[in-house]
Amino acid sequence: MAGEDRTGKKTAQGGAPGVRKLDRREVLMGLSTVPALGLFGYAWSRQRRYQQAKLQEAAAQPVAAGDLQEINVALLGAGAQGQVLTDAMLRIPGLRFRAVCDVWTEYNQKRVVNSLRKFKHEVNAYEDYREMLDKEKELDAVVIATPDFWHERHAVDCLKAGKQVYCEKEMSNTLEGARAMVAAARETGKLLQIGHQRRSNPRYLHCYERLLGEAKLLGRIVTINGQWNRALTPDLGAPDRYAIPEARLKQYGFRDMRQFRNWRWYRGLGGGPIVDLGSHQIDIYSWFLGTNPSAVTARGGTLYHDPVTHEWYDTAMVVYDYDTPLGPAMGYYQTQTTNGSQGYFENFMGDQGTLLISESDVHGARLYRDTNAPAWDTWVQKGFIAAPRIQEVKEKADTAVTDVRESVSPDEHQVPIVIRDPFHQPHLQNFFDAVRGKATLNCPSEEAYATAVAVLKVNEAIEAKSRLSFKPEDFKI
């Protein structure tokens, strides 16, 4: 039943006017309030609540372990995700932050530098990454969290400067960019991990290795459905006093502050919602099926937003075809950015059971045994899955007529994996373990390239309004 996946491992199936003046400390600590800074403040107060909680957790963790060879790290891109990665890295022993590079010197750069100094990391701050690479000779690794259209240049130049690189997804908004990144990793022999963090998530690993691989609880996966529905995201905005001068914005590829803050809305800067959100989950479709898609059909449209500000569609509905080692399969995927109903999850349906899984704890991971499947008691005893939750049976009134064709609800089993660390920590840990020569990367650039091929083709299919095929060699590099 087992096949080979793309890495050859065994697979499962085979500035608002009138704002209150904040003092410097309040601003740098991000304690801005919603009324004070409008949407900018709102976005940041949410971000900061998360961040403060994580920093408190981090404070309880050791930041260095005596017997570990210390790794000198720089952060390139200190925005929302750069902060999330920094918080996770502060919990990983043996890392020494040396530098932070960000073009928003007025705000993001200062914020992250200050939060690192609180943890006694004496970092140098840079606006230009080339200057950082030039001056910071001691650096071992660079963690990149800049907007997608910068990934190629940043990753390639860091690799060529001899650094090990962790780069956020999407590895690039173009396939040419993604290819250049793989080529640079090969040429330099340096590590390039891409931030598809589910690949290192204990919940996903347990389901992949134990439930699908060892126990084969789903039987043959025939269909998948998944989604990332996100509620409306307002213009992130920025108060005038933190505005980046126009000349600097242009130097870094942004027309104005609005475009700088909302780069995801613009063609050429991001890759649209399928890239921003879908790439995480479409990556899992291929991983769990043990194969890349053979074709894609997609529809997408700007159904809600003004196409002048939102150059990318806001809604996409996609169907992939797969030829898996066990037979044909189809995967539906939807992303829309106008309503957050039911959030995000992937639902794998086999001829013996279903796995509903999500990175989010709202859904966690649950299995449903189909009535025709053999008993799962052994797997409950082994601790692979929890005992079934008793399904509520609706008592039928004596007078009710029972329809014998009515399906019986399947048993629901929780997957007993509790995640205590921030989502990104295990993937970063895997990267730093690999830097120390103690692990292999869970998402090396070749693997992420195959995902980029599958994902970026959706945008082509939306434009073409037709079904597009893949050749197996499209995924090879």
Ligand X SMILES: NC(=O)c1ccc[n+]([C@@H]2O[C@H](COP(=O)([O-])OP(=O)(O)OC[C@H]3O[C@@H](n4cnc5c(N)ncnc54)[C@H](O)[C@@H]3O)[C@@H](O)[C@H]2O)c1
**By the rule CB under 6 A, 108 interacts with ligand X:** yes
**By the rule CB under 6 A, 79 interacts with ligand X:** yes
**By the rule CB under 6 A, 81 interacts with ligand X:** yes
**By the rule CB under 6 A, 198 interacts with ligand X:** no
Q: Which is nearer to ligand X, 113 or 319 (CB)?
A: 113
With a CB cutoff of 8 Å and minimum separation 6, the contacts of 213 are: 2, 10, 11, 12
Q: Which is nearer to ligand X, 143 or 212 (CB)?
A: 143
> Pick from 197, 335, 425, 459: which binds ligand X (CB under 6 A)?
197
From the list 36-44, 95-103, 177-185, 346-354, the region that binds ligand X by CB under 6 A is 95-103
Closest CA to 221 of 456, 461, 467, 11: 11
> Pick from 22, 63, 103, 355: which binds ligand X (CB under 6 A)?
103
> Pick from 146, 174, 315, 352: which binds ligand X (CB under 6 A)?
146
Scan for tokens 């649950």, then name that residue.
366
**By the rule CB under 6 A, 82 interacts with ligand X:** yes
Q: Mark 271-310 with x for binding to ligand X (rule: CB under 6 A) and - for no binding.
A: -----x----------------------------------
From the list 19-27, 61-69, 77-85, 442-450, the region that binds ligand X by CB under 6 A is 77-85
Q: Which is nearer to ligand X, 257 or 329 (CB)?
A: 257
**By the rule CB under 6 A, 180 interacts with ligand X:** no
**By the rule CB under 6 A, 147 interacts with ligand X:** yes
Cα 220 to Cα 182: distance, rounded to the nearest angstrom: 33
> Pick from 136, 168, 314, 446: which binds ligand X (CB under 6 A)?
168
From the list 28-36, 142-150, 211-219, 429-437, the region that binds ligand X by CB under 6 A is 142-150
**By the rule CB under 6 A, 150 interacts with ligand X:** yes
**By the rule CB under 6 A, 185 interacts with ligand X:** no
Q: Which is nearer to ligand X, 82 or 273 (CB)?
A: 82
From the list 79-87, 306-314, 325-333, 456-464, the region that binds ligand X by CB under 6 A is 79-87
Return the residue nearest ligand X (CB atom): 79
**By the rule CB under 6 A, 203 interacts with ligand X:** no
Q: How many residues bind ligand X (CB under 6 A)?
A: 25
- Residue 399 CA, distance from chain mean position: 52
- How near is the Cβ of 30 to ligand X at its closest, in Å? 13
Binding site for ligand X (CB under 6 A): 76-82, 101-104, 108, 129, 145-148, 150, 168-170, 195, 197, 252, 276
